[in-house]
Chains A and B, each alone.
Chain A
Amino acid sequence: MSEQTVVKLDQVNKWYGKYHALRDIDLAVAKGETIVICGPSGSGKSTLIRCLNNLEQHDEGDITICDITIRDNVKDIEKIRRHTGMVFQHFNLFPHMTVLDNCTFGLRHVLGMSVAQANEVARDLLDKVKIGDQEQKYPGQLSGGQQQRVAIARALTMSPDIMLFDEPTSALDPEMISEVLEIMRSLSKDGMTMICVTHEMGFAKEFADRIVFMEAGSVIEISPPEEFFVKPKTERAKVFLDQILAH
């Protein structure tokens, strides 16, 4: 594996019972790349991204993250999870903790930092996502967009090498989508390796290095956005784009 490759999938397969959720997935992501995974619902995008940090277990093939291949070794899996940060569709903030405590959670309980040190790191990142003034509030007191920004800050506290975004804007009201995308843009610009499952084609066009198009559990096209949006290789991608760009 070249030094630059941080994510590598080799013939990955996954079944839910008899349902073949992922079929022979091959993918390599270089350091600093922004990858957008798109495709119709049920095509396996979320399953794929959740396999990367072992929230779902794949059945066949190899997934290698930062030179660690996922096996059934708990320590390795925890190491991989420290290398990756994940942002979820429904934020998944801890409702019984303040915004600040949400962000110091990993620093204190996983990295073993002191409260003061963790607070300092967390405050820096909360400022970065422009929510520093809300640190004593509880997640339930924030808007969806604010919550998602806190969730991004929380994932960043662990200084991950790779950020995974699983439909980060799908549960947001339209006017809040832009504030989250703005954070994602700045992360992409700063050279963070990002893998995003999203329907935000504007973001994909502007910032993705490559688009991965999935259909029925297979990756059927990987192209740079300028090619994908102008001249998709497959008929299925064309139909998908027509539908999604129609609005």
Chain B
Amino acid sequence: MNHQASIEKITGKPIEARAKKSTPLSFSRVVVWIKRNLFNTWLDSLVTLAIIALLCLLLPKALDWLFFSATFSGTSRADCAPGAACWIPIRQYMDYYIYGPFPESEQWRVNSAFAVGLFVFPLLFSQRIPQKWIVVYILVLPVVLWLLLKGGFIFEDISTSALGGLTLTFFLGIIAMCLSLPVAILLALGRRSQLPILRWACIGYIEIIRSVPVITFLFMASLVLQLFLPSGVSIDVLFRVLFVLIFVSAVYKAEIIRGAIQAVPKGQIEASYAMGCGYWKTMAYVVMPQALRNSVPALITNFIGLFKETTLVMILGLLEVMGAINATFHNAEWLGLHAEGPIVISAFFFIACFSIAQYGAHLERRIKRTKH
């Protein structure tokens, strides 16, 4: 008896008949769905109606302010319509927001930096490229970005004050993300080390750093550090800021990774040791691949936090994208436009962070597929 026939025998129905039962979307089914999901009990109905009412009240006003009555073209403040958003300065200063005060003749370097940096995404999404190459790319990326944006080697030096806007945000965010992960892995391993001095040092470092606000370290990096350095010596503020971002966020990642390492059964480590494999290879091939997979959701959240923390460098006078946008609205010409700047900043960070989150979700689904 063939498969179809045997199924029909069990169900008592020919297969065609059962297949037809899943009818396409019809009006009556929509009504049933609405009844079930939106107006099931009187409380459900109340919540549904309240939310719809709220949206009806706010959404038209917001859309009107943002788009319909807003001014998009013009050259000066006089062109702005009253009582609605005025996007003229955003359009005028767009180049400044992206490139900051970067010398115009060298802007190709910024463009290539964006390209090289964003190339990480297709690379990370692809499943055909060996992980080894991805790791190499991620470790080389900070060096490439530094050369392109800050200069050195064959590239002309760019002064730190010429870095700003999206360029700076991108520069700080990507470099800090790429380098804080290896630091975090080493800290997590150090905290679990058999060597007491190393272990205590890592515990002390982690506990102290994570109990102090990041902004304090940024202040310290700009002011306190100078006290300890011999007079005349100064470290570029970019270095100091990166140093703080990397070594502070690494602490949080280290704790995430440590938890994931502890979740790898001890027996697997013993099995690897029993074959004569040493500590580093056991960590690299047995423990870390599993631990990193398990910490993906928490690490992605941490990356998003780190990316947003780059805005704090404003307090050291660095004009990253938020500082750049704010600065233009403090210009006498555009004084009095309060909301437009923050809205653009929010939109930018939302797009960037939501993309990172989407990558995280993709990674989770992929891991779930390969995990058995």
Question: Which residues on A sit within 8 Å (CB–CB) of B293?
Answer: 96
Residues of chain A within 8 A (CB-CB) of B290 are: 95-96
Please give me the residue from chain B that is nearest to A157 by CB atom: B275
**Which residue of B270, B289, B371, B372 contacts A92 across the interface (Cβ within 8 Å)?**
B270
Please, which residues of chain A bring their CB within 8 A of the CB of B285? 105, 109
Complex Cα distance, B289 from A155, in Å, reads 22
Chain B 266-287 per-residue mask, 1 if CB under 8 angstroms from chain A, else 0: 0110111111111001000110
Complex Cα gap A95–B370 (Å):
10
Supposing A90-B267, A92-B267, A95-B290 touch, asked if A109 and B274 sit within 8 A by C-beta, the answer is no
How many chain A residues have a CB neighbour from B under 8 Å?
29
In this complex, the member of B276, B277, B293 whose beta carbon has the largest number of chain A beta carbons within 10 angstroms is B276
A53 contacts partner chain B, Cβ-Cβ < 8 Å: yes
Would you call A138 an interface residue if the criterion is a C-beta within 8 Å of the partner chain's C-beta atoms? yes
Asked whether any CB of chain B lies closer than 8 Å to the CB of A141, the reply is: yes
* A92 neighbours in B (Cβ, 8 Å): 265, 267-268, 270-271
Q: Quick check: is A78 within 8 A (CB to CB) of the other chain? A: yes
- What distance in Å separates the Cβ of B260 from its nearest Cβ neighbour in chain A? 13
A200 to B300, CA, bound (A): 49
Q: Mark A83-121, 1 if CB is under 8 A from B, else 0.
A: 011101010111110000000011001100000000000
The residue on B at minimum CB distance from A78 is: B276
Q: A79 near B: Cβ within 8 Å?
A: yes
Which residues of the other chain, B, contact A152 by a CB distance below 8 angstroms?
none
Number of chain B residues whose Cβ lies closer than 8 Å to a Cβ of chain A: 20
A143 to chain B, nearest CB (A): 13
Shortest distance in angstroms between A48's beta carbon and chain B's nearest beta carbon? 15
Q: Is the CB of A106 within 8 A of B275?
A: yes
Pairwise interchain contact A141-B268, C-beta atoms closer than 8 A: no
- Say whether B274 contacts A95, CB under 8 Å: no
Q: Which of A82, A88, A95, A151 contacts B276 (CB 8 A)?
A: A82
Please name all residues of chain B whose beta carbon is closer than 8 Å to the beta carbon of A109 when the two chains form the complex: 277, 281, 285
A106 near B276: Cβ-Cβ < 8 Å:
yes
Q: Are A158 and B268 in contact (CB under 8 A)?
A: no
* A95 and B275 contacting across the interface, CB-CB below 8 Å: no
How far, in angstroms, from A85 to B267 measured CA to CA in the complex?
14
Contact in complex: A94, B278 (CB < 8 Å): no
Contacts of B265 in A (CB 8 A): 90, 92
Complex Cα gap A133–B271 (Å) = 23
Neighbouring A residues of B276 by C-beta, 8 Å: 78-79, 81-82, 106, 110, 158
- Encoded as 1 (CB less than 8 Å from any B CB) or 0, chain A from 15 to 57 comes to 0000000000000000000000000000000000000010100
* Distance in angstroms between the alpha carbons of A155 and B277 in the assembled complex: 12
**Chain A residues with CB below 8 A from B277, complex form:** 105-106, 109-110
In the complex, whether A225 has a CB less than 8 A from a CB of chain B is: no
Interface residues of B (CB under 8 A from A): 265, 267-268, 270-278, 281, 285-286, 289-290, 293, 371-372
**Subset of 11 A-B contacts with CB under 8 Å:** A78-B278, A82-B276, A85-B275, A88-B271, A90-B267, A92-B270, A94-B286, A109-B281, A110-B276, A154-B271, A155-B274
